[in-house]
Homo-oligomer: A and B are copies of this chain.
Amino acid sequence: MFLHVQRLINEIVPDEPDPAAANALQEGLGGQFGEMRTMMQYLFQSFNFRGATAKPYRDLLHGIGTEEISHVELIATTIARLTDGSPAYTGAATKPVDEPGKGGKTPLASALSVGNIHHYLVGAQGALPVDAAGNPWSGSYVYNSGNLVLDLLYNLMLESTGRLQKCRIYEMTDNKTARSTLAYLIVRDQAHENAYAKALESLGIDWGRTLPIPKTDAERFPEVKTLLDQGLHLKQYTFSLDNLSEAGKIFRGSAPASVADGNLQTEQMPDGFPMDIAVERPEEFAPGLDADLLELVQRTAELELDDADHAADKVTTK
């Protein structure tokens, strides 16, 4: 079973809207080597896992798979921010419905020439489950052969490719919103690369000088360097509420990358950062409620929530 907390796994730095950067980030969300894929691949691998004696490996997959859901949340939210308001439509706040096309104006005109038009046409300036070329995510991406060595080898390659692509996107844009999430995911992909490399090391492989992939010098990517200095690439979160995960048996000792840079360690989960709810976008008819409906919504929002008063205790005191 899965639970959530209303916190983002990393902070998203504010900057101007940038639909072209948003489109590039879609590769990291819905691309063949993006977060939706890592999430689904590791979850399927853990659901279908075979071999009770190999439980630490199952728990490693389950733990990283769970973290990836939060990555999907992070990068989707980042894309939503990058597309939000990018048509530079203003004045929406005062009259929430029907303002945009007033007299036949074209507040969404920029959608015709920048990024993926679907961000404005199919979605309401939010993230989509597609890649940077507009192809929808496909279940055929998920690799789960059932053979442990192969699955780990694929995962190592998958994380490294995700990291490679994010480094390339980093080189495409200097938008701070985009880079804050890119840098975070570059470092976490490296942590996961370490995790799978370490799992394979426990099966006898010596990686020599080949890791990390791609070879990077953190000095070149300032936001990445900051996170590396914090050792974020050496931590593995379990996101395990019942503390039954044995992933820590694999993710320990020195990192398998050729550059010795400290010991790996397993932690439960980070504190996270606040989540906000995006503003209304009347030019998108989102949420598209008129005065009458807003009044009805307001009544719901004002209710005292008596029922759930003591609900949270249940889990936490188990």
Contact = CB atoms under 8 A, between A and B. Distances in A.
Interface in A41-77: 43-44, 47-58, 62, 66, 69-70, 72-73, 76-77
A216 interface: yes
Contacts of A169: 121
A130 interface: yes
A228 interface: no
Given A27-B121, A161-B145, A172-B111, A215 B285 contact: yes
A100 B288 CA distance: 42
B50 A5 contact: no
A121 B132 contact: yes
Given A1-B239, A104-B222, A135-B135, 15 more contacts: A1-B8, A4-B66, A4-B241, A20-B112, A50-B124, A50-B280, A101-B221, A108-B168, A117-B132, A121-B165, A146-B281, A215-B289, A215-B290, A266-B307, A269-B314
A242 B4 CA distance: 8
B281 A202 contact: no
B311 A238 contact: yes
A70 B205 contact: no
- The size bracket of the interface on A is 35 or more
Given A98-B220, A203-B297, A172 B120 contact: yes
A112 B51 contact: no
Interface string A221-265: 111000000000000001111111110111010000010000001
A109 B231 CA distance: 29
Contacts of A116: 133
B204 A210 contact: yes
B300 A121 contact: no
A195 interface: no
Contacts of A208: 203-206
10 contacts: A1-B5, A3-B5, A23-B112, A24-B112, A51-B297, A104-B220, A118-B132, A135-B136, A149-B213, A242-B312
A191 interface: no
Contacts of A285: 146-147, 164, 167-168, 214-216
Given A80-B47, A149-B213, A217-B97, A206 B205 contact: yes
